[in-house]
Amino acid sequence: MTLLLEARDLSFGYTAERMLFEHLDLELEEGEAIGIAGVSGCGKSSLCQCLCGIIPHIKSGERRGGVYLKGQELADLRLCEIAVSVGMVFQEPEQQFFSPVLEANLAFGPENICLPRQQIGERISGALEFSRLEQYRLAHPRQLSGGQQQLGALSCILTLQPQVLIFDEAASQLDEDGCQLLDETIGRLKEQGKALIIVDHHMKRLHHADKILYLREGGWELK
């Protein structure tokens, strides 16, 4: 199996006086799903941001140890180099949308890495087909149900074809139907061999995970 993402002896806090986690080791292989659980405020989102490079590239703090993408420290890569391998879906799907036309939001990533026009179109079609949103290609994101909006946000990331996908409490704003839709889609991503990080404080939503990292104040445990 290929090791894709690795945290080695990783410690992080927004200030050195209050570290959120220390000496954390985590390895994510191709096709593997790791769940992250822990109470609100324990540092789950901050860890996700360390794993996708938002920390240290956009947000800073006291960061020790390292995070490696196929052996390369994220701090030494540019954010756009990380984004083609690691994508993150947030709690709030609206964070991913800036255009009133769904497909324009999907074009943003591949346009940013300067793919040829035809390939951008193919990537958009592929992502919408995977998320079963083809019929909403020209719709306003707000015309979609909550679950579909989250799949739309996921589609924006899928156009970059990342090998690693991080879901940071992506189901928390969704109703039961939305949760089911997202859960089923996460299952299909796993079947495709994507490496997944799934954060949720509801254990039942972590059933796709092969291992679970429990974060708590003063320690962590991987089981």
Ligand X SMILES: Nc1ncnc2c1ncn2[C@@H]1O[C@H](COP(=O)(O)OP(=O)(O)O)[C@@H](O)[C@H]1O
Query: Which residues bind to ligand X, rule: CB under 6 A?
Result: 14, 20, 38, 40-46, 59
35 binds, among ligand X, Mg ion, none (CB under 5 to 8 A by kind): none
> Taking phi first (over 0 means left), then psi (-120 to 50 degrees means alpha), and beta for anything else, what does residue 171 get?
alpha
41 binds, among ligand X, Mg ion, none (CB under 5 to 8 A by kind): ligand X
The DSSP element (H or E) to which 144 belongs, if any, is none
Handedness of CA 88, 93, 99, 100 (dihedral sign): positive
Q: What is the DSSP string of 66-114?
A: EEEETTEEGGGS-HHHHHTTEEEE-S-GGGG--SSSHHHHHHHHHHHTT
Closer CB to ligand X, residue 45 or residue 185? 45
40 binds, among ligand X, Mg ion, none (CB under 5 to 8 A by kind): ligand X
CB of 54 to ligand X, least distance (A): 10
Closer CB to ligand X, residue 43 or residue 147? 43
Both tokens of 28, joined, read 């994510």
Judge contact between 36 and 5, C-beta under 8 A: no
Residue 96 CA to residue 155 CA, distance in Å, equals 10
Closer CB to ligand X, residue 42 or residue 182? 42
46 binds, among Mg ion, ligand X, none (CB under 5 to 8 A by kind): ligand X
**Three-state secondary-structure class, residue 12:** strand
Closer CB to Mg ion, residue 127 or residue 199? 199
CB of 199 to ligand X, least distance (A): 7
42 binds, among Mg ion, ligand X, none (CB under 5 to 8 A by kind): ligand X
DSSP 94: G
Q: What is the CA 105 to chain-centroid distance, rounded?
A: 17
Instruction: State which of positions 1-60 bind Mg ion (CB under 5 A).
Output: 44-45
CB of 150 to Mg ion, least distance (A): 15
Residue 56 CA to residue 78 CA, distance in Å, equals 11
CB of 42 to ligand X, least distance (A): 4
CB of 82 to ligand X, least distance (A): 19
R_g (Cα) of the chain, nearest Å: 17
CB of 75 to Mg ion, least distance (A): 22
In the complex, which residues of this chain contact Mg ion (CB under 5 A)?
44-45
